[in-house]
Amino acid sequence: MLVVGCKKNEFIPYYQPIMSLDDKLQGVEVLVRWKLSDGSLLLPAYFIEVAEQMEVINEITITLVKKVQADFRRYSSNYNRKVFCAFNLTAQQIENKSFINLLILTLKKEKNFVPSFEITERQHFNNLALAKANIRRLQEQGYQVKLDDAGTGYGGFSYFMDFNLDGVKIDKMFIDVIGVDDVKVEVLNSIIMMAKRLGIDIVAEGVETQQQVDFLRKHNIDYIQGYYYSKPVPFKDLNFDN
């Protein structure tokens, strides 16, 4: 079904704003949706794990990149400044030299946004040297590479030392404890402290409440993403004015 869905061009990008602390939209995360023939949308929870274990994830990612490029071109009157655009990549994709070549080639002439990548860690890295070399190649293009869902994956922070990543996305699980569980907030504090020591960007995701925003502002993290600002939306519904 995934392969057929891909052939029928049914995978589409939704976008969630990523804001700086002064409430300005600085970037977006691209989140895939499966648009079925009856017009209904399937969330990644229903298919992404299976897709990630198959070759088809590469086709889905490249399709998304091309659709994002088309959206930025088509709606160029909607925005007046360049923002970054973050795509999700799996550990396997980062280790796949020909896929990274294709990704770089596809994005080569992109002028409308700054490409950025979030590495999800649902699967193990098998070849750290290759992953590191490919991350470096993306960074050499001027693209940022961040660790997604930090603290929940297999390697956690050990990858930072090795991979020279540009940033970390703190998982919703750690944001949910703000104002709820003082002991668990200590874990969040240490993630923030470690990222600051390493001098890398910190993005908080799954931010829903004013209390969470206040806490994150107080700790001077770099970016906030979550329903507090906006759910993922089609490109035409993004608001670049703030």
How many angstroms separate the first and last alpha carbons of the chain?
40
Q: Which is nearer to ligand C2E, 149 or 197 (CB)?
A: 149
Are the C-beta atoms of 5 and 34 separated by less than 8 Å?
yes
31 binds, among ligand C2E, Ca ion, none (CB under 5 to 8 A by kind): ligand C2E
Helix (H, G, I), strand (E, B) or coil at 239: coil
Chosen residue from 71, 148, 166, 171 binding Ca ion by CB under 5 A: 148
Helix (H) or strand (E) holding 88: strand 84-90
Task: State the nearest-atom distance from the C-beta of 182 to ligand C2E, in Å.
Answer: 22
Q: Give the interface segment with Ca ion, choosing from 94-102, 117-125, 181-189, 211-219 (CB under 5 A).
A: 117-125
Q: Give the interface segment with Ca ion, choosing from 135-143, 147-155, 160-168, 223-231 (CB under 5 A).
A: 147-155
CA 198 to chain centre: 20
Task: State the nearest-atom distance from the C-beta of 120 to Ca ion, in Å.
Answer: 6
Give the footprint of ligand C2E on this chain (CB under 6 A): 16, 31-32, 43-45, 48, 52, 57, 61, 64, 88, 90, 120, 148-149, 205-208, 226-227, 232
Strands 223-224 and 11-20: antiparallel
Task: Name the amino acid, one letter, at 177.
Answer: V
65 binds, among ligand C2E, Ca ion, none (CB under 5 to 8 A by kind): none
Chosen residue from 88, 92, 212, 225 binding Ca ion by CB under 5 A: 88
52 forms part of the interface with Ca ion (CB under 5 A): no
Name the percent of the chain in helix, strand, coil, to the closest 5. Answer: 45, 25, 35
Task: State the nearest-atom distance from the C-beta of 64 to ligand C2E, in Å.
Answer: 5
Q: Nearest CA to 29 among 217, 220, 235? A: 235
Are the C-beta atoms of 122 and 52 separated by less than 8 Å?
yes
Are the C-beta atoms of 59 and 217 separated by less than 8 Å?
no
Chain residue whose CB lies nearest Ca ion: 118
Task: Find tokens 């992109």 and name the residue.
Answer: 110
Q: Which is nearer to ligand C2E, 54 or 77 (CB)?
A: 54
Q: Which is nearer to ligand C2E, 57 or 221 (CB)?
A: 57
16 forms part of the interface with Ca ion (CB under 5 A): no
Q: Nearest CA to 20 among 173, 210, 202? A: 202
Give the residues lining the site for Ca ion (CB under 5 A): 88, 118, 148
